[in-house]
Amino acid sequence: MTGRREGGAVAVLTEETLTDAERAAVESVPDGLFIGGRWRPATATMPVVDPASGRQLRTVADATPEEGMAALDAAAAAQSAWARTPARERSDILMRAHRLLLDDADRLALIATLEMGKPLAEARGEVTYAAEFFRWFAEEAVRLDGGYMPAPGGGSRFLVTKQPVGPSLLITPWNFPMAMGARKIGPALAAGCTCVVKPAEQTPLCTLALAEILDRAGVPSGVVNVVTTSDPGGLMTPLILDPRSRKLSFTGSTAVGKVLLEQCARTVMRTSMELGGNAPFLVFEDADLDAAVEGALAAKMRNIGQACTAANRFFVHRDVATDFAERLTARMAQLPLGPGTEPGVVVGPLIDADAVAKVTELVADARARGARVLLGGETVDGPGNFYPATVLTDVSDDALICHTEVFGPVACLTTFDTEDEALDRANDTPYGLVGYVYTESLRRGLRVCEALDTGMVGLNQGVVSNPAAPFGGVKESGLGREGGLVGIDEFLEIKYIGVPL
């Protein structure tokens, strides 16, 4: 593919077919359902589309509810044996998967770019990120502990042990398909749980490639099962309501998460929910503005702004607001936009036409309420789902864009005068995933970080995601944590055993 432009306009693609390398990458991925340790064809297929051009990359299996149930049958049948598998063996399998991912990073990155749109450099970073989840949880698998204590009243002893919760349903999003698959599969396998993985319908290839790698790493039959479908509700609802399913881990929108929680309540199923965000980005008058601008670019433009951790609302102290806006606009104007496979591209396509329409509507509403456009703000001609890097200033707090995940490359700037005002406005949202704070004062930094109603905060840094850190939010941004020392606990039950003397 050819034709990158600088500063906000995408060139028309001149090639309608895949290159040899692209074709080899997408055709290397199995296109069936991975159930019970083998690849099997489905009764129907669905297309996988390149968001940079609208062309069909290939077709993959489109599972029916019956085929989804077959995957749960396989996971339930394999659960007992997998739970009894020594932790060291589970750890070794995950370490092999870690190495296989890194060895195959170029192919996997190209697959991710083609089906999701992110630039190749970011896709390679995602593969490395995914591999690190397997390594982290390989190390955690052999460190599951318990407890022993005398009863306070005497006469008995308390033994505490941890056991796998059981067959787990893992629903992954389209924006980080490789990494989110590893972030859920890694702790499930480390804890001794089998799983059924349902990837987003827009990006099935990454998860199918991940299943093939896990198979090569030695995961026993039935321990990991992957079902791709264009009807997620129809396929997953029977699995959620089946009493053999004991855990649901979901990453996606808050609206869908609430529906899933209602379904899980019927069988009192354990849940982990990583839902929507509306991240505030606070820049105080004493901030290092160069660092703040670089942090803003990382927090806003990672994955083309299509991340739950993306900075959504920029609150900048009035004394530095003009300077910050000018610097951020200048930097964002330099970001090349085009197909993610093109060298140097930073702003790839959004996932689909609906995403472009949503961003367009939000920007139009903000402008109607008085926002000024410093950069971008208009759709671009040509094929693909592109929207340019955009900077808005003087954005009203009542604009829809301040209350909705943008999921696009739009930075919304507004000013504040006092710390209390900034905190009140930052916390004025039902979401609470992550926040960002830039200040050179350690006292203020700690004070503001503790006062933000979020599960994570980046203090003078624009990226918080790390496999070794507990990822998750509060309020309507979710339940539970992924990664870190507590990530494996989401897949474990605590059992107390009383022993009389």
Q: Which of 140, 274, 342, 476 is catalytic?
A: 274
Q: Is 308 an active-site residue?
A: yes
CA distances (Å), origin 161, targets 139, 359, 494: 19, 49, 6
- Could you tell me if 39 and 32 are in contact, meaning their C-beta atoms sit under 8 angstroms apart? yes
Alpha-carbon gap, residue 377 to 388, rounded angstroms: 7
Tell me the backbone φ, ψ of residue 438, rounded to 5 degrees. -120, 115
- DSSP per residue, 435-496: EEEE-S-HHHHHHHHHHS-SSEEEES-S----TTS-B--EETTEES-BSTTTGGGGGEEEEE
CB 330 within 8 A of CB 293: no
| Amino acid making up residue 260 | L
Helix (H, G, I), strand (E, B) or coil at 403: coil
Edge-to-edge, what's the strand order for the sheet holding 492-500? 147-150, 156-164, 492-500
Which position among 308, 402, 412, 449 bears the catalytic label?
308
In angstroms, the CA 78 to CA 86 distance is 15
Give, in order, the Cα–Cα distances in Å from 26 to each of 19, 53, 71, 238, 310: 11, 16, 24, 31, 29
Kind of pairing, strands 224-226 and 56-61?
A: unpaired
Which pair of structure tokens corresponds to residue 59? 């077709």
CA dihedral 405, 407, 413, 416 (to 10 degrees): 30
How is 214-261 classified by DSSP, letter by letter? HHHHTPPTTTEEE---S-HHHHHHHHHHSTT--EEEEES-HHHHHHHH
Q: Would you say 186 and 133 are in contact if contact means Cβ atoms under 8 Å apart?
A: yes
Maximum pairwise Cα distance, the chain? 81
CA distances from 309 to 112, 295, 301, 302, 303 (A): 19, 13, 10, 9, 10
Cβ contacts of 179-183, under 8 Å, gap ≥ 24: 179/126, 179/129, 179/130, 179/133, 180/251, 181/130, 181/206, 181/207, 181/210, 182/101, 182/129, 182/130, 182/131, 182/133, 182/134, 182/210, 183/130, 183/133, 183/467, 183/471, 183/482, 183/483, 183/487
Strand partners, 492: 164
Residues involved in catalysis: 274, 308
